[in-house]
Structure 1
Amino acid sequence: MTNASPSLAPSAPAPRAAPTSSPFQFFSVEVLRAERITPAMARIVLGGPDLARMASAGRDQRVKLFLPRPGQSEPVMPPAGTADWYGAWRALDPAVRGIMRTYTIRELRRAPDELVIDFALHAESDDASGPASRWARSAVPGDRICVLAPVEEENGGYDFRPPDGTDWILLTADESALPAVASILDTLAPGTPARVWIEVHDPADRQELATKADADITWLVRNTSPAAPDAIRAAALPEGTPYAWVAGEAATVKAVRRHLVGERGFDRRAVKFSGYWRQGASEDNLMEAAENA
């Protein structure tokens, strides 16, 4: 299903708000391949006849995924061409409509056209997982979903925008933001100084991250390594003008930002922070809270 340039908004409340005026369209796609790249990360490769029109800025490019509910062969969506897609989606029966979640494009490939999404699997069992983790864990070739994605590379659905004059990059994330960090590292210019901290559940969840940047990557294993705010507080950072991108669990993100701005003296305009999730709350909970505020 393809709609005419709907916006990506709305999303969960800030910290992961989405743009309201960029060119986005719906794409009907199906699973081509599914693999477990680490114990806690599933990689789903998607294909479809319209993917040649899909664009990505790289970096931390956001898209909306609409997943089918149990017993459905594809997600139930508003009719093609609906101007207010979000209002129309909200008007559908909540027990039937497609399950909406926000994810980062890990890679948009050409020749052939393929969309790659990495899913952090937050629990070992379906009973303890959210709907996106459950879907990704059981996805097989032919499974169908819907994606709301940009059709122009310059769009409002990404946040990593270092200004001119930036001397070095600081990145910190947990599993939820690891695909975005990997994509950002892919796009950094050769030799760019970067300090990176990534928190994972288990040593086996570490990945080889390709980059041409001069990147110092520190993996933090939860419950055995210092938490990200403490690890960064103890680190010697480069001289010069920094740009920081901080994402993951909302409370941790706030703590890192507070340290960078309050203790390290980073210009707050040079710290982009995004709470990809909040302990104890689903994206549905966050959207409902925002609408009732």
Structure 2
Amino acid sequence: MTLPVTFAEVVEVRRITPRTTRITFAADELPDTVGTAPDQQLKLCFPRPGQREPVLPARQDDPMGWYRAYLAVPEAERPLLRSFTLRHRHPGSRLVEIDFVLHGGTGPATAWALRAAPGDRLGMVGPSALYAPPVPFAEAAAAADWVLLAGDETALPAIATLVAALPAGVPALAYVEVADEAERQPLEGGDGLVVHWLHRDGAAPGTVLAGAVRSAGLPAGRPFAWLAGEAGAVRALRRHLVEERGVPKASIDFTGYWRHRLTQDDAPTDEDLADAQERLAGY
């Protein structure tokens, strides 16, 4: 199994909420078999200042060799790497949509998205089944009595693809924390989906989400929970579900997408490393 490494050119830029921009890219290369499942992860390579397009790592036969090739690029030329979830792949084409949450305009991804225009080019690593969970979402959801989805606006692209993939007849609760009412987005799921929109309105990231789930009257039966967003909030939610609600760890898929006051360039904390080890143990 190989991991696609390709350039992607901006085709369209749309501001879908005051703080979210949806960008459509045309990938130079993209296998027909990737990008169709829900919650598909990929990485974008951003150019260094002065570069029109980033320097991409050399292609490797080893599917995980791309990162070693990435590190082999001289540091002054090495692209800045950020993780994203694929929002949509247009069937029968190499067009993909990716949502950018505009975190204040200071990070490399946000700064790039604020000035993005058709013709701009990035590097793209993935999507790939290498990043897929050991049990597909639809299969895990079908085996449960009900589904819990919880995350902030950075998790919305994944949540949108997950609710669209919910098996018929499976009840689902989605708790989504966003900055304010203007940041709501349409979520299209089955009749069993109930969405709770939570507005921070200036509160610290993740606190409103954690509080809402803690106080919620959750259904009886065996759940499957999917948690993503700010790492500290995800950690707190998972701990609550396991220790206070009795949800088995194996029934929770969790990912810390970002860290409050830290970037992906900052070293992982001890808690980050512990989370990563526990996730890997499930694969």
Instruction: Mark yes or no: TM-score above 0.5.
Output: yes
* Secondary structure, counterpart of 1:50 in structure 2: coil
Letter in structure 1 aligned against 2:230: E
Does the CA-based 8 Å contact 1:57-1:158 persist in structure 2? no
Please name the residue that 1:177 is paired with: 155
> Does residue 1:94 correspond to 2:75, yes or no?
yes
Tell me the CA shift for residue 241 of structure 1. Answer: 1.2
Match among 37, 42, 46 for residue 21 of structure 2? 42
Alignment partners' CA distance in 2, 1:61 and 1:189: 18
Does the CA-based 8 Å contact 1:188-1:213 persist in structure 2? no
Match among 106, 112, 117 for residue 140 of structure 1? 117
Alignment partners' CA distance in 1, 2:268 and 2:11: 31
How many residues matched? 263
Call closer, same or farther: CA 1:288–1:249 in 2, change over 3 Å: closer
Please name the residue that 2:221 is paired with: 240
Aligned pairs (5 A) from 1:196-211: 196-211=174-189
Alignment partners' CA distance in 1, 2:195 and 2:113: 27
Tell me the CA shift for residue 168 of structure 1. Answer: 0.9
Alignment partners' CA distance in 2, 1:213 and 1:57: 23
Please name the residue that 2:276 is paired with: none
Aligned pairs (5 A) from 1:133-172: 133-150=110-127, 155-159=129-133, 161=137, 162=140, 165-172=143-150
Aligned pairs (5 A) from 1:19-38: 22-38=1-17
Alignment partners' CA distance in 2, 1:40 and 1:32: 20
Letter in structure 2 aligned against 1:208: P
Alignment partners' CA distance in 2, 1:164 and 1:54: 23
Q: Structure 1, residues 142-161: CA drift from partner, whole Å, max 9, x if none? A: 1111111145xxx2313463
Match among 232, 244, 265 for residue 284 of structure 1? 265
Letter in structure 1 aligned against 2:11: L
Tell me the CA shift for residue 285 of structure 1. Answer: 1.2
Please name the residue that 1:214 is paired with: 192
Please name the residue that 2:277 is paired with: none
Call closer, same or farther: CA 1:213–1:104 in 2, change over 3 Å: farther
Q: Return the TM-score normalized by structure 1.
A: 0.82
Aligned pairs (5 A) from 1:80-119: 80-81=59-60, 84-119=65-100
More contact order relative to length (CA 8 Å, sep ≥ 6):
1
Gap regions ≥5 residues in structure 2: 274-283
Match among 222, 230, 233 for residue 249 of structure 1? 230
Letter in structure 2 aligned against 1:211: G
Identity %: 38
Letter in structure 1 aligned against 2:115: S
* Secondary structure, counterpart of 2:130 in structure 1: coil
Tell me the CA shift for residue 92 of structure 1. Answer: 2.3
Call closer, same or farther: CA 1:81–1:211 in 2, change over 3 Å: same
Gap regions ≥5 residues in structure 1: 1-21
* Secondary structure, counterpart of 2:131 in structure 1: coil
> Does residue 1:193 correspond to 2:171, yes or no?
yes
Indicate the larger mover: 61-70 or 220-229. Answer: 220-229
Tell me the CA shift for residue 227 of structure 1. Answer: 1.3
Does the CA-based 8 Å contact 2:36-2:89 persist in structure 1? no
Q: Structure 1, residues 139-185: CA drift from partner, whole Å, max 9, x if none? A: 1111111111145xxx2313463265211110000111111111111
Tell me the CA shift for residue 213 of structure 1. Answer: 5.0
Please name the residue that 1:77 is paired with: 56
Letter in structure 2 aligned against 1:270: S
Q: Structure 1, residues 74-127: CA drift from partner, whole Å, max 9, x if none? A: 11123344753222321323232111111101111124431111111111xx3x
